[in-house]
Chains A and B, each alone.
Chain A
Amino acid sequence: MVILGNILIFIGSLFLALGGLGLIRMPDVYNRLQAGTKATTLGAMGVILGSAFLAPEMLTKAVLLIVFIAMANPVSSSTIGRSAYKGGVPLASRSVRDDWEKEEAAE
């Protein structure tokens, strides 16, 4: 149990670190959000579940935390992305397509 818990925490922190690297390497807000959201969701899940293996009496609370993170994380990053777009933050120059801009221009 202890070994499994530590492995989960390690994998979780690995994904969190990769997410951080993504924040640095990606070219614009939207791509950074992509890296950030996915990595923090799975990373936090891994760390929390790993901690639950180390302290089994926390298991139900850990599962609840995971559910709440899975619900709240994507909502918050959608909202950040939406406000960024409406606030006029441009897409990276290598972006290939923008359906939303076309719609706004047509209106």
Chain B
Amino acid sequence: MRKWKGTFALLFLLAVSWLLIVSSVAFVELIAGAVAIVVIVLLTHRSRDLFGGLRLSLKALLFTPIYLMVFLWQLIRSNLDIARRVLSPSLPINPGIVKVQTQLQSSLGKLILANSITLTPGTLTLDVEGSSLYVHWVDVKGTDADAATQSIVAGFERTLMEVVE
């Protein structure tokens, strides 16, 4: 069931992307798109449960734009943060690798979370193992793992939990 959900979600996303790319509904374009989509779905058959982690509910639909907004805001903040560090003569960094925990279950959720962490101020996900993420942090604060989890993961996780499992 979950795998079918993944396949259908992938089909839907590919179809929407294709329609946006060609921005026409001419017969030839639709045929070309359908062929390409079938090929992609067959090629990615082995990892077809990836998109199965998506929640299909009104609430998930509502939280997606909220998540994107949070994400964009964090991306702008992180750029200003890096710009400030790079431009100041003393190069104020305090780098290190910290291990943080996530409560997200699905691989799609962890993927999105890892990507989001990479694009937020001062953090870069290096690896995901089970429910822990190894994050390179430009400005390590404190020595407590829970505190690190709180300040890096928690903000995204709450919104993300409404969208994926």
Contact = CB atoms under 8 A, between A and B. Distances in A.
Contacts of B140: 96-97
B136 A30 contact: yes
A41 interface: yes
Given A30-B136, A38-B78, A97-B143, A63 B20 contact: yes
Interface string A92-107: 1011111111010000
A21 interface: yes
B1 interface: no
B36 interface: no
Contacts of A64: 17, 20-21
B79 A38 contact: yes
A34 B96 contact: no
Interface of A: 15, 18-19, 21-22, 25-28, 30-31, 33-35, 37-39, 41-42, 60-61, 63-64, 70-71, 73-75, 77-78, 81-82, 85, 91-92, 94-101, 103
A84 B83 CA distance: 24
Nearest to B78: A38
B138 A34 contact: yes
A60 to B, nearest CB: 5
A90 to B, nearest CB: 12
Contacts of B115: 70-71, 74-75, 78
Given A37-B119, A85-B126, A42 B79 contact: yes
